[in-house]
């Protein structure tokens, strides 16, 4: 009896529902966990002769049973998930199992154990709902955005199909590499250094990046990079969400280039340039009429080019070269006693195109920044050639060379930007020449479609 009492005390205090029923479903035993979960004390349950466990079972729908069959009282081991109505009128979802035995325990053979899984099921439903929302969000995100995930070192570990489509690389070609695979070379190293400083601190970085696709095509993306933090608050992955803004950026750049072209056109057609050239021509009318006639024709060709070609995105290289040579001759005409010019073009340039007003401004830049203030006779030399499918042009002067004040002129910066926009593999370089003066080198390949 003493051991039985100890066992009953243990069962009464177990953290699971533990109770027994008679053949009429009246409770015979009811432990403290039953009282805690369902709200009915053992005294009111056991002393109420009209109370039946079936009264607690919530019928799911009209005419539909709960699945708890009275005939299963004496069956082998069975599990149920039942909605039981608590004393407060709240439903409690209980996972119930029968442990009926042919050997009576405390005078009963129909014993049950159960666990309150109400909160567990709520969490499962919330998790399922959250997972669905996350899945829906991912589907929507993948439909409109370019998505990539990298580890903390920047190695790509996930890309969506949009990333593959816009970059031209397959998923296998991207995974395991970093974003240098699509680096266009447009942004300086400081740009990406600042990007990494920001996200390494766990902060979100936003900006616009120009990338290069596998086929050499350039594209722009509006980018947001969000660090994914570990339990210590340190980034261990980075989520990058990008949107294609190539069309907008190209429109902006075309508008800016058109504005720059207009400014250059205005500079070329300035009354000062025209007045000085006409004054020189007038002086030659008496001393050298033939030279004056040639100068008038060159000046006319110069302005005809400005009117017909300057508003184009690209013109044949030979036409641009002719315009530049006309300008050189007009420059020489104005400063014949102080300036020597030469030009040389080697190769077939019939398939070559270039933005208009590229070469002439570079020649003018050499004169203004290199020769205008020079004492003695100056020289400007322009050479063009084609090497391994790449067009190379050099403009050299024997002037005073570069200084911090004039190394970055507006004309050169504008030309560099236009070449990058319209031509593949373009470059503009200006440096001091070992033999004195400065040399500007431009190089480019075919025009972008």
Domain boundaries along the sequence of the chain: 1-122, 145-246, 270-445
Per-residue model confidence (pLDDT) at position 405: 45
Would you tell me which CATH number, out of the four given (3.30.450.20, 3.90.1150.10, 3.30.70.600, 3.40.50.2020), belongs to the domain 1-122? 3.30.450.20
Q: Which of 8-22, 293-307, 337-351 has the lowest mean pLDDT?
A: 293-307
Give the C-alpha separation, 249 to 225, whole Å. 20
The H-or-E segment that residue 270 falls in is none
**pTM of model > 0.85:** no
Q: How many CA atoms lie within 13 A of 361 on its CB side?
A: 25
Show the CA angle centred on residue 223, arms to residues 222 and 228, nearest 5°: 160
Question: How does pLDDT run across 382-429, given as a tens digit for each residue?
Answer: 999 998 889 999 999 888 787 754 444 666 777 888 888 888 888 898
In this structure, the strands spanning 339-346 and 378-387 are parallel
Could you tell me which CATH number the domain at 270-445 has?
A: 3.30.565.10
User: Which two structure tokens, joined as six digits, stand for 375?
Assistant: 């004492």
Q: What is the DSSP letter of 367?
A: I
Mean pLDDT along residues 281-293: 65
pLDDT at 53: 87
Report, as an integer, the average pLDDT of 331-358: 84
* Tens digit of each residue's pLDDT (9 = 90 or more) over 145-197: 899 999 999 999 999 999 999 999 999 999 999 999 999 988 989 999 999 99
In this structure, the strands spanning 146-151 and 235-244 are antiparallel
CATH of span 145-246 = 3.30.450.20
427 - beta bridge partners? 443
């Amino acid at each position: 009896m003493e051991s039985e009492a100890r066992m009953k005390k243990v069962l009464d205090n177990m953290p699971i529902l533990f109770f027994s029923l008679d053949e009429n479903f009246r409770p015979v035993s009811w432990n403290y966990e039953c009282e805690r979960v369902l709200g009915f004390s053992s005294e009111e349950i056991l002393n109420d002769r009209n109370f039946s466990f079936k009264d607690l079972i919530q019928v799911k729908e009209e005419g539909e049973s709960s699945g708890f069959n009275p005939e299963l009282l004496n069956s082998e081991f069975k599990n149920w998930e039942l909605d039981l109505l608590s004393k407060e009128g709240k439903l409690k979802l209980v996972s119930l199992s029968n442990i009926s035995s042919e050997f009576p325990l405390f005078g009963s053979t129909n014993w049950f154990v159960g666990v309150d899984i109400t909160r567990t099921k709520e969490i499962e439903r919330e998790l399922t709902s959250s997972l669905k929302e996350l899945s829906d969000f991912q589907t929507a995100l993948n439909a409109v955005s370019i998505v990539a995930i990298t580890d903390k070192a920047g190695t790509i570990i996930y890309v969506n199909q949009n990333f593959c489509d816009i970059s031209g690389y397959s998923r296998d070609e991207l995974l395991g590499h970093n974003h240098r695979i699509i680096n266009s070379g447009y942004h300086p190293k400081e740009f990406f250094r600042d990007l990494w400083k920001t996200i390494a601190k766990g902060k979100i970085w936003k900006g616009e990046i120009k990338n290069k696709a596998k086929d050499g095509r350039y594209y722009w993306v509006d980018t947001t990079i969000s660090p994914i933090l570990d339990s210590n608050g340190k980034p261990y992955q980075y989520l990058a969400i990008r949107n294609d803004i190539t069309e907008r950026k190209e429109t902006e750049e075309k508008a800016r280039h058109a504005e720059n072209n207009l400014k250059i056109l205005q500079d070329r057609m300035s009354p000062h340039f025209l007045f000085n050239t006409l004054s020189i021509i007038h002086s030659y009318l008496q001393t050298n009429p033939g030279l004056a006639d040639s100068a008038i024709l060159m000046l006319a060709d110069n302005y005809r080019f400005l009117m017909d070609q300057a508003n184009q995105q690209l013109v044949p290289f030979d036409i641009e070269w002719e315009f530049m040579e006309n300008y050189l001759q007009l420059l020489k005409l104005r400063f014949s006693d102080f300036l020597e010019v030469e030009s040389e073009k080697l190769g077939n340039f019939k398939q070559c195109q270039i933005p208009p007003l590229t070469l002439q401004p570079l020649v003018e830049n050499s004169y203004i920044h290199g020769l205008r203030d020079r004492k003695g006779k100056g020289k400007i030399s322009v050479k063009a050639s084609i090497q391994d499918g790449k067009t190379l042009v050099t403009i050299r002067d024997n002037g005073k060379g570069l200084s911090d004040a004039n190394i970055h002129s507006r004309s050169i910066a504008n030309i560099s930007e236009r070449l990058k926009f319209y031509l593949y593999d373009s470059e503009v370089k200006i440096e001091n020449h070992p033999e004195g003066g400065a040399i500007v080198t431009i190089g480019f390949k075919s025009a972008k479609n």
